[in-house]
Amino acid sequence: MATNKNKNIDGDKLAVSSQNQPSVDNQFNKALISWHTPEFIRYPRTWLWFFIAGVIDLALLGYAYYSNSITMALVFAVLPIVILLEQRKHPEMKEVIISPYGIKFGIRKFPYSEIKKFWILHHPPHVNELHILTNNRISPEITIHMMNVDPVLLRNFLITQISELEGKKEPFVETLVRVLKLA
């Protein structure tokens, strides 16, 4: 009996000591800088865009038939369906919180210890993004749209927490995707 009481007392002491420490979630919610942003930017597509894409897709289907490539024909037959389904998806608004502990993007949390580097691409009105490079092997680069956040203020804080990758420019493929409204 005496040992059971000791175990309960020790258990109570552990519970009390863990309640006195601030939780990681609370640390992430202490916003120094915060804003709301869509999870991705939807570029408006006109009927002309869809017409030109359809003509290109039909030409590629014709080439697939001419070259007797069943796999290529299958890909270009399914592609318009995928594009139309993707077009129906609307970006979800996510809250971004820059805290003393790390960066919170929606429900994802990135402590500064897990972020290798960051860089800001700021070329208004088309590009205004915060990029963070994490230790995650599956998706190491996270792009966060900055909306109306002051890039100088954001950079001045982040540079005190993580190292900056200077001179980084928008990759050609991302520029092409943006200009052709492929995403």
pLDDT, tens digit (0-9, with 9 covering 90-100), for 138-161:
889 999 999 889 999 999 999 999
CB-based contact 183:175 (threshold 8 Å): no
- What's the average model confidence in pLDDT over 38-59? 91
- Vertex 23, ends 22 and 29: CA angle to 5°? 100
Q: What pTM value is reported for the model?
A: 0.71
Q: What domains does the chain contain, in order, with CATH numbers?
A: 100-180 (2.40.50)
- pLDDT score for 126: 82
Is the confidence at residue 25, as pLDDT, over 70? Answer: no
DSSP string over 2-35: HHHHHHHHHHHHHHHHHHHSPPHHHHHT--SEEE
Query: What are the counts of helices (DSSP H) followed by strands (DSSP E) for the chain?
Result: 6, 8
- pLDDT score for 5: 42
